[in-house]
Amino acid sequence: MTDTTARLPGDPTAQAAVARMIRVDHAGEYAAVRIYQGQLATLRARGKADLLRHMLAQEQHHLATFDGLIADRRVRPTALLPVWHLAGFALGALTAALGERSAMACTVAVEETIDAHYQKQIAALDSAEPGLRATLSKFRDEELEHRDSGLAHGAEQAPAYRLLRAVIKTGCRAAIALSERI
């Protein structure tokens, strides 16, 4: 994110930067909902289902918040939502099919990436956006809880944990870059 501190509130460039943030965060939360739905579709009757339902409910709240911001601020959503609809669900379902610990490894990889992403956005937002900053901080805390839940439920014991985590993180970063632009 570029430095916005030299700009005045209401400056079109600053507005465009905030619109880009809302677009990509909306896309990310949309994908997060789909990932947890995919994991639940596979692990519905298993021991981790309650944890997955809890995380899914929080992601649905995050998405609803960004749905509201998209509408209030007339931000164009990413054109890639249909892609994230399928890719998010597939990522969740496939990692869950590898086992509960692989599903948790997916959670760790995704939430670590989102944590870094939100951290960068919070640092880039100036005092003109206190509400958005507070929202991002709260959501970031919840994403960190999800990461910690993944670690507490055996993510690191997943087969090929380091490789799986690296591949998913690379994919998430690519998805972020695309959703900011398209």
**Interacting residues toward Fe ion by CB under 5 A:** 29, 32, 59, 62, 143, 146
Distance CA 51, CA 93 (A): 16
Q: Where do we find the tokens 């809890």? A: 54
Largest Cα–Cα separation, the chain: 53
Nearest residue to Fe ion, by Cβ distance, number only = 62
- Closest distance of CB 9 from Fe ion, Å: 27
Closer residue to Fe ion (CB): 112 or 143: 143
- Closest distance of CB 125 from Fe ion, Å: 17
- Closest distance of CB 64 from Fe ion, Å: 11
- Closest distance of CB 173 from Fe ion, Å: 16
Q: Considering only CA atoms, which of 144, 77, 135, 158 is closest in space to residue 115?
A: 144
The full DSSP string for 122-138 is: HHH--TT-HHHHHHHHH
Closer residue to Fe ion (CB): 48 or 62: 62
**DSSP 3-state helix, strand, coil percentages of the chain (rounded to 5)?**
80, 0, 20
Dihedral class, residue 160 (left if φ above 0, else alpha if ψ from -120 to 50, else beta): left
